[in-house]
Amino acid sequence: MLRNDQDTSDVQPASAAQETPGSQDTPLKSREALKQAVKFTLLSISAAGIEALSFIVLDTLTSLPYDVKHVTSIVLSVLWNFTLNRRYTFKSANNVPIAMLKVGLFYALFIPITAWLGQMAAGAGVNEYIIKGSTMVLNFVGEFFWWKLVVFRGSENTNALAKKKAENK
């Protein structure tokens, strides 16, 4: 019991002294989210290389219109990026056909819109490499959020790599 003449300014109720549930996890989750974003970025750079090189090859060796080159290069990039990011970034063991269907939904909108806008820009005289670069940046950002919030939601850290890492802790 405290006497009336004692200073009580540093006394906290028992409930206030305890940390709220999950409060210690916040820095860990932030660190994990940052690591995930860095992994996604690095793997996406490799996918961007595939997309850019395939676009350049198609542009150099064929007379295909912009939209066909765009679609072909983005499909190659997506297949590569999905495979790597599913395993190493999101560490997901979810159903591959369902996950690819969700990815397909994103691209069912993204590809036609960017192909149409890209074709309009190319028709207006904008350099196709500038169009492609802008589209790739837009794709990178949209893809991360779509994959994180839709495709792999609830299935992150469920594959063998994640389980092995958890066992080693």
d(Cα 92, Cα 16) in Å, to the nearest integer? Answer: 38
Task: State pTM to two decimals.
Answer: 0.69
Q: Angle, to 10 degrees, between the axis of helix 128-146 and the axis of helix 96-123? A: 150
Q: What is the pLDDT of residues 67-109, one digit of tens each?
A: 899 889 989 999 999 999 999 999 998 888 999 999 999 999 9
> If you search the block for the tokens 């790599």, which residue do you land on?
161
Contacts of 142 (CB under 8 A, 6+ apart): 106, 110
Element (H, E) at 118: helix 96-123
Predicted confidence (pLDDT) at residue 21 exceeds the cutoff of 90 = no
Can you tell me which residue has the tokens 């779509």?
146
- Segment among 9-13, 90-94, 123-127 with least mean pLDDT: 9-13
Can you give the pLDDT at residue 67?
Answer: 84
Mean residue pLDDT across the chain: 84
